Amino acid sequence: MQVRGWQVTGAAVAMLAAGIVLAVTANADDSTRGYEVEAHGSAAAGPSSQPARPFASAGPSSQPAPPSASAGPSSQPAPPSASARPLAKTSGPLAKTSGFFVDPNSEPAKWARANKNDPRAARISAEIATRPIAKWFGEWFTDIGASVDKYVDAATAAGKLPVLVAYTLPGRDACSGFSGGGQKTPAEYKRWFSAFAGAIGDRPAVVIVEPDALGDAECMSAEQIAVRNELLNFATRELRAKAPQAWAYLDAGNVGWGEPAEMAARLHDAGVRNVRGFALNVSNFYPTAKTVEHAEKINAQLKSKGHHTAGFVIDTSRNGNGHAGSWCNPPKRKLGSAPQPGTTGEDYRLWVKTPGISDGPCGTAPGVPSGTYSPELAVKLIDGS
């Protein structure tokens, strides 16, 4: 859920998003992607080099045994090669809308409305609440199908593209512990995810699949990893079958969390071939340029395993101002580039993490629990202080 403090096949699209116009044109020389992006007035994210967030065990005390039959990638036919796919200009989800959806009920927006007399409200409203921010879905929604349908309906009615995060794996956040939780059993997870994907239906969307899931492997047993891979394969197949207009991205950690070869192997085992690609830097601070380099290395490793070139997205919500050697509410971080189509190889730059949501009771917010919205943290990100 959006309580984490750290923590997608084709290409960029022609759109007007967050005041940035990008033109997408075919590139006959690019056989792996088949597109070229030209930016007009876009701004790159500022420099950063935030280290990876460490993870500490927080899974259930009784982990279910792995299933008897694997649902690994070999059980699912591979999608067509990237070079054979339609261009994002004509088929990408953003191209089918008029821009990313701005949720009027995001945490920053709700806080600003409820605190109009607070001198911070106007700044938070202008700098954060008016930006497209992903909405996180997990076990805290009592009716996941109805909740997702309502959110996607609102975006569709506005002609906008919703960005959703699925975050409810059993034993979630197995390394850090601040965001532990998730569904209690694999069966519950499958029911939940089937409803989640079905509620998106045949509507354009972007979906980030399970932040932490693959990075957590270093803190899990072989049995736990087998269960997780079976569930991620299920989730990616459900999205492919029930949400065909959505571009989905498996979370793949960040520059400092998961070497390219190892992360490519984990993506392979988790079913990345069923979806658009992978997501990087979710709730972290690494600069966009360095993250693109990391993504290219992962793709090179995926290619060696017989995969297509995967698309990828980058969370730029907090990567605008370098790093301070900490993942948990570190000082002097800053908002990154606004959500927009990518200009350097990535499909999109997104705000996956909500700026102002605490990473946990640590850093510059020692008294703010994970997942709690803090206007003080939000203003610090605006100012870079």
CA distance linking residue 22 with residue 125, whole number of Å: 25
- 20-40 b/e with 16+ CB inside 10 Å = b? bebebeeeeeeeebbbbbebe
Active-site residue identified among 103, 173, 251, 359: 359
Active-site residue 212, yes or no?
yes
Active-site residue identified among 212, 251, 269, 315: 212
CA distance linking residue 373 with residue 40, whole number of Å: 34
Question: Tokens 């519950």 — which residue?
Answer: 188
Active-site residue 383, yes or no?
no
Per the annotation, does 136 bind a ligand? yes
For residue 321, give both structure tokens. 């101002």
DSSP code, position 230:
H
For 240, residues 6+ apart whose C-beta sits below 8 A from its C-beta are: 76, 79, 248, 274, 275
Per the annotation, does 233 bind a ligand? no
Per the annotation, does 140 bind a ligand? no
Apex 73 CA angle, 67 and 77, nearest 5: 125
Per the annotation, does 284 bind a ligand? yes
Per the annotation, does 257 bind a ligand? yes
Q: Which of 38, 45, 7, 3 is nearest to 23 (CA)?
A: 38
Residues placed in the known binding site: 136, 257, 284, 327, 353
Q: Which residues are catalytic?
A: 212, 359
Residues placed in the known binding site for substrate: 136, 257, 284, 327, 353
